[in-house]
Amino acid sequence: MNHLHTALWGVLPYLVLAFMVTGTAWRYRYDRFGFTTRSSQLHENRLLSIGGPLFHYGLLFVVAGHLIGLLIPEAFTERVHVHEWLYHANALLVGGVAGLATLAGLAILLHRRLRVPAVRGATSRSDHAVYPLLAAVILAGLAATASTTPHHHYDYRLGVSLWFRSLFALDPDVPAMSHAPLVYQTHTLLGMALFALWPFSRLVHAFTAPIGYLARPYIVYRSRGARHVPVNRSAPVVPPPVRDAAARR
């Protein structure tokens, strides 16, 4: 095992993670109002309403597929009678369709960004890196999925997935990844580059998903006297009514 493999698969993932966490904290601290998707919906809506959902729903399935494929051991799926061929046929079909939908959505969003002058004007420097990188990650992922055929079979759950899980045990299984085919290595390296860029681009909006919305009360009641206001952490902070403020003076 040479030093390059140790650096790429044993050290780099932790550097990327540290970069991502500190970068996100820094961005949140110093650019809280820029911690958004920088929506361009006001400039153009038609293409956005097609490309946006296609990209995001496709990506949702891709992420779900990654979580299952990378985190659930093959021994477990075998035990619940999901056999290897069935698992991979499913990954090829569902993963392939989801990956293609994500790619098609990204192509529409990219076309919109390049062809609609107002949207092009609202394009930031980080977008110039993020869009090509996203396209490269998705294309390499699709190439990895397509490279698995019954004749040429690499079982990534016995290689890439072992490496991925070993990172959490702080004992990186470098050989598991250094023996993976080049297309899987390329896809993973591009994925790590994307994660490193994440905090400094519009991708940070993924961390702003309104999860608290799911647990919010349907109706927010406030007493008229505003002496005892029920605590609702997801509600915006509203100044006291003018009448109360005047009475207090």
**Binding residues for ligand HEM (CB under 6 A):** 62, 65-66, 69, 91, 95, 98-99, 102, 134, 137-138, 141-142, 144-145, 148, 156, 160, 164, 184, 187-188, 191-192, 194
- For residue 190, how many other CB atoms are within 10 A of its CB? 19
Torsion 24-30-36-38 (CA) sign = negative
Q: How far apart (Å, rounded) are the C-alpha atoms in residues 68 and 78? A: 14
Q: Looking at beta carbons only, is 48 or 103 nearer to ligand HEM?
A: 103
Shortest CB 164 distance to ligand HEM, Å = 5
Which residue's Cβ has the minimum distance to ligand HEM? Answer: 141
Q: Looking at beta carbons only, is 60 or 114 nearer to ligand HEM?
A: 60
Q: How far apart (Å, rounded) are the C-alpha atoms in residues 225 and 240? A: 10
Q: Looking at beta carbons only, is 156 or 200 nearer to ligand HEM?
A: 156
Q: Looking at beta carbons only, is 153 or 234 nearer to ligand HEM?
A: 153
Name, in order, each residue with C-beta under 8 angstroms of 155's C-beta and a sequence gap of 6 or more.
74, 84, 88
Shortest CB 188 distance to ligand HEM, Å = 4
Q: How far apart (Å, rounded) are the C-alpha atoms in residues 155 and 148? A: 8
Residue 237: strand, helix, or coil: coil
Shortest CB 184 distance to ligand HEM, Å = 6
Shortest CB 55 distance to ligand HEM, Å = 10
Name, in order, each residue with C-beta under 8 angstroms of 19's C-beta and a sequence gap of 6 or more.
196, 199
Shortest CB 49 distance to ligand HEM, Å = 21
Q: How far apart (Å, rounded) are the C-alpha atoms in residues 117 and 44? A: 10
Residues in the chain: 249
Shortest CB 44 distance to ligand HEM, Å = 23
Q: Looking at beta carbons only, is 101 or 119 nearer to ligand HEM?
A: 101
Q: Looking at beta carbons only, is 66 or 120 nearer to ligand HEM?
A: 66
